[in-house]
C-alpha cells in the first residue's frame, strides 16, 4: 500500500498525492506497471469523497457501483521507489450511465507526465450488473470536473454515432 498525502480539487481537477513504497516496485526499484491501476483507483475514490459523493453512499442509497469498462494506459517515464506522485483526475465526457476520465501521473514538482490513464466507467446495479443512470447528485458532482480541453465543464455526451453505439452497448438506449 502506498503512503497517501492530501488530496484536493482545484480549477476543476482533482489532485491526489501518494508516495511510492518498496512494495509498489519491481526488483529494479521502478513502479510495477499494474500498480498504476491501483493508484488510479485510489485517486478516483478520493475524488468522489472530495466531490461529496462517496462510493459507500452510491452503493448504500442506490445499490449502484462503478465498474471499469475500458482502460488505456500510456507509460511514458518510470516512477521510482520513494517518489512522491501527483495524480490529476479530470472529466472528459459523461453519458447517462457512464463517464470518461483522464488520469495523469506526474512526479511532484515536475510537469512531464509519467503515465496517462484514460478510463470509461460504467454505472451498474450491484444486484444484476445492468447499466443504470447516474443519480443526479453524482452527475452534478462529476460535471464540476473540468474537461481536458481548456478547463470547460465535463461534456455531456449527446450525439454522434459513436456515442449512440456506446449507449446501445451499455443497454441504456
CA distance 131 to 67: 10
Between CA 147 and CA 89 the distance in angstroms is: 10
Which residues are catalytically annotated? 26
C-alpha cell at 27: 526488483
d(CA 10, CA 13): 6
Sign of the alpha-carbon torsion through 86, 4, 11, 69 = positive
Amino acid at each position: 500500500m502506498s503512503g497517501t498525502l492530501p488530496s484536493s480539487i482545484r480549477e476543476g481537477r482533482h489532485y491526489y498525492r501518494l508516495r511510492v513504497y518498496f512494495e509498489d516496485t519491481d526488483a529494479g526499484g521502478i513502479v510495477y506497471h499494474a500498480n498504476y491501476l491501483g493508484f488510479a483507483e485510489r485517486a478516483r475514490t478520493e475524488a468522489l469523497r472530495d466531490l461529496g459523493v462517496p462510493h459507500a453512499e452510491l452503493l448504500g442509497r442506490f445499490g449502484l457501483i462503478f465498474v471499469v469498462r475500458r482502460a488505456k494506459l500510456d507509460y511514458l517515464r518510470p516512477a521510482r521507489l520513494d517518489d512522491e506522485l501527483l495524480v490529476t483526475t479530470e472529466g472528459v465526457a459523461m453519458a447517462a450511465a457512464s463517464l470518461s476520465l483522464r488520469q495523469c501521473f506526474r512526479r511532484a514538482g515536475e510537469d512531464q507526465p509519467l503515465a496517462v490513464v484514460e478510463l470509461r466507467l460504467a454505472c451498474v446495479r450491484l444486484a444484476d450488473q445492468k447499466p443504470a443512470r447516474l443519480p443526479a447528485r453524482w452527475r452534478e458532482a462529476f460535471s464540476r470536473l473540468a474537461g481536458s480541453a481548456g478547463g470547460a465543464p465535463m461534456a455531456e455526451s449527446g450525439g454522434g454515432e459513436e456515442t449512440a453505439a456506446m449507449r446501445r452497448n451499455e443497454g441504456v438506449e
